């Protein structure tokens, strides 16, 4: 509207000047026809009027150019506003959070997802806000789990990481939420950041790890007695053999056998036999005290006790404790040819492992000692010699 009004004003100005020019030329012509008038004066007047018209036309042209420039500027501004609105709309539909900070580490823009991930600090996520102020507010609001208890140190470390050429981190936020953060420098010194919600992925990974732990435990646990199985014993024996060899420490093994178990099983039935195995396993497990000691079912009615840093005397004390515990339990064994109750035979060995030898060396020695205990009448412990 203003542009149209300016053109109308210029139009009437040009008409006015042209009318004045015609009137001036006419007046000069009449004057030149009077006595004393000269043609030179006529042409001088004409030249002045033409110069005036030219000046007016130049001014008109300048005004037209200025109006065109203003119109183009307004159109460019509208186009820029429309483009920014389209960009904001496009960024807001992204599933990931996007942010951009300038070379002074002040926010230029971010999308709606960025604000959703950090709702406590969303009001600060406007152009011009420093990154440090945003993360400090989030830490103080309790959003950043790692920052609790040492907010200032955490903020310094986070800002330093943010200012690197490139950074990657997995960030935990309140409510067991997890974000993968990727930040990178732009050629002009700014920092563009991308945040992906990894909560479901982390939780599934945690569940999978827990399931694997349970599976690993089940694979090394005897299903009947609930103590370690042969596989677990073999694994621990291999580890403790090498460790004891490095430290030149004694490693003891008790090989335990339930006396006349086949006769017990035949007399009391398989269910009675299973219950017998469970009771013996519990008694043996209660006889060890240290966390690094292992009680496992070796197979059938045989059990093992692996005792790291244990000499022969200490191992013999543990063996006697196992036998005494079963004696106190007084489990009846009506078919035993050697006693009226359930008894144990134990083969004992303690040695400083030789790394050049196999861990089975310890097992073979304990088995030889167990044979000696059985040959000597059972219900006793025998050492390897």
**Based on the domain organization, do 69 and 112 belong to the same domain?**
no
pLDDT at 302 over 90: yes
Task: Indicate the residue among 89, 105, 140 that finishes a domain.
Answer: 89
Residues above pLDDT 90, as percent of the chain: 66
- Whether residue 103 contacts residue 190, with contact meaning beta carbons closer than 8 Å, is answered with yes
In this predicted structure, what is the pLDDT of residue 293? Answer: 96
**Based on the domain organization, do 61 and 117 belong to the same domain?**
no
Query: Domain tally for the chain?
Result: 3
**Based on the domain organization, do 258 and 355 belong to the same domain?**
yes
Q: Which residue has the tokens 């005494």?
A: 324
| Helix residue spans in the chain (DSSP H) | 2-33, 39-92, 112-117, 131-140, 151-162, 199-219, 230-247, 261-286, 312-329, 360-375
pTM score: 0.56
- Least reliable range by pLDDT among 34-43, 63-72, 261-270, 317-326: 34-43
**Based on the domain organization, do 307 and 376 belong to the same domain?**
yes
Q: Are strands 381-383 and 344-351 parallel, antiparallel or unpaired?
A: parallel
**Confidence class of residue 26 from pLDDT cuts 50, 70 and 90?**
low
Catalytic residue among 240, 293, 301, 302: 301
Q: Are strands 294-299 and 191-197 parallel, antiparallel or unpaired?
A: unpaired
The radius of gyration computed from the CA coordinates of the chain, to the nearest angstrom, equals 49
Domain extent for 260: 220-383
Higher pLDDT, 41 or 214: 214
**Based on the domain organization, do 168 and 107 belong to the same domain?**
yes
CA distance 275 to 115: 62
Mean pLDDT of the chain: 86
**DSSP secondary-structure letter at 137?**
H
**Confidence class of residue 184 from pLDDT cuts 50, 70 and 90?**
very high
- Whether residue 148 contacts residue 142, with contact meaning beta carbons closer than 8 Å, is answered with yes
pLDDT in tens, 63-104: 777 877 788 878 777 876 776 666 666 656 777 898 999 999
pLDDT in tens, 1-20: 555 555 555 555 555 555 56
**Based on the domain organization, do 62 and 102 belong to the same domain?**
no
Q: Is residue 213 part of a domain?
A: no
Q: Is residue 207 part of a domain?
A: no
**DSSP secondary-structure letter at 175?**
T
Q: Is residue 280 part of a domain?
A: yes
pLDDT at 337 over 90: yes
CA distance 268 to 275: 10
Q: Encode burial over 248-285: b for 16+ CB neighbours within 10 A, e otherwise.
A: eebbbbbbbbbbbbeebbeebeeeebeebbeebbbbbb
pLDDT at 52 over 70: no
Task: Indicate the residue among 67, 89, 111 that finishes a domain.
Answer: 89
CATH of the domain at 123: 3.30.450.20
pLDDT at 37 over 70: no
Q: Is residue 210 part of a domain?
A: no
Average pLDDT over residues 91-118: 87
CATH of the domain at 361: 3.30.70.270
In this predicted structure, what is the pLDDT of residue 121? Answer: 92
Q: Name the strand (E) or helix (H) holding 350.
A: strand 344-351
Q: Is 238 left (phi over 0), alpha (psi -120 to 50) or beta?
A: alpha
In this predicted structure, what is the pLDDT of residue 12? Answer: 54
| Helix residue spans in 93-150 (DSSP H) | 112-117, 131-140
Q: Is residue 323 part of a domain?
A: yes
**Based on the domain organization, do 188 and 236 belong to the same domain?**
no
Q: Is residue 292 part of a domain?
A: yes
**Confidence class of residue 219 from pLDDT cuts 50, 70 and 90?**
confident
**Based on the domain organization, do 251 and 136 belong to the same domain?**
no
Sequence-separated (6 or more) residues with CB below 8 Å from residue 182: 167, 168, 193, 194, 195
**Based on the domain organization, do 108 and 75 belong to the same domain?**
no
- Is 301 a residue of the active site? yes
Average pLDDT over residues 23-52: 56
pLDDT in tens, 229-253: 999 999 999 999 999 999 999 999 9
In this predicted structure, what is the pLDDT of residue 127? Answer: 93
Positive or negative torsion for Cα 201, 202, 207, 211: positive
Q: Is residue 126 part of a domain?
A: yes
pLDDT at 167 over 60: yes
Task: Indicate the residue among 66, 89, 112 that finishes a domain.
Answer: 89
Which of 113, 149, 146, 151 is closest to 132 using CA atoms?
151
Q: Is residue 212 part of a domain?
A: no
**Based on the domain organization, do 103 and 173 belong to the same domain?**
yes
**Based on the domain organization, do 69 and 161 belong to the same domain?**
no
**Based on the domain organization, do 158 and 67 belong to the same domain?**
no
């Amino acid at each position: 509207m203003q542009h149209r009004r300016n053109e109308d004003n210029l139009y009437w100005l040009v008409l006015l000047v042209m009318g004045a020019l015609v009137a001036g030329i006419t007046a000069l012509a009449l004057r030149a026809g009077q006595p004393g008038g000269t043609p030179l004066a006529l042409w001088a007047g004409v030249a002045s009027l033409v110069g005036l018209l030219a000046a007016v036309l130049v001014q008109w042209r300048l005004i037209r150019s200025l109006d065109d420039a203003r119109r183009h500027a307004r159109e460019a501004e509208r186009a820029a506003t429309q483009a920014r609105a389209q960009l904001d709309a496009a960024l807001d539909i992204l599933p990931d959070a996007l942010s951009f900070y300038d070379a002074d580490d002040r926010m230029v823009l971010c999308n709606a997802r960025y604000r959703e991930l950090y709702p406590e600090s969303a009001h600060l996520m406007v152009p011009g806000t420093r990154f440090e102020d945003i993360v400090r507010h989030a830490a103080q609001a309790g959003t950043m789990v790692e920052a609790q208890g040492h907010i200032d140190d955490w903020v310094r470390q986070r800002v330093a990481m943010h200012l690197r050429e490139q950074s990657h981190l997995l960030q935990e936020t309140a409510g067991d939420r997890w974000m993968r953060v990727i930040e990178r420098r732009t050629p002009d010194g700014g920092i563009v950041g991308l945040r992906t919600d990894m909560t479901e992925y982390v939780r599934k990974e945690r569940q999978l790890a827990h399931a694997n732990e349970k599976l690993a435990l089940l694979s090394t646990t005897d299903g009947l007695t609930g103590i370690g199985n042969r596989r677990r014993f073999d694994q621990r024996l291999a580890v403790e053999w090498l460790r004891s060899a490095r430290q030149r420490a004694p490693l003891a093994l008790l090989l335990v056998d339930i006396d006349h178990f086949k006769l017990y099983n035949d007399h009391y039935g398989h269910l009675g036999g299973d219950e017998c195995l469970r009771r013996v396993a519990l008694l043996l497990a209660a006889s060890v005290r240290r966390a690094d000691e292992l009680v496992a079912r070796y197979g059938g009615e045989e059990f093992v006790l692996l005792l790291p840093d244990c000499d022969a005397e200490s191992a013999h004390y543990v063996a006697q404790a196992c036998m005494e515990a079963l004696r106190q339990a007084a489990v009846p064994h009506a078919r035993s040819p050697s006693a009226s109750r359930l008894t144990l035979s134990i083969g004992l060995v303690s040695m400083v492992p030789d790394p050049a030898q196999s861990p089975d060396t310890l097992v073979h020695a304990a088995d030889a000692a167990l044979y000696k205990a059985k040959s000597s009448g059972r219900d006793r412990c025998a050492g390897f010699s």
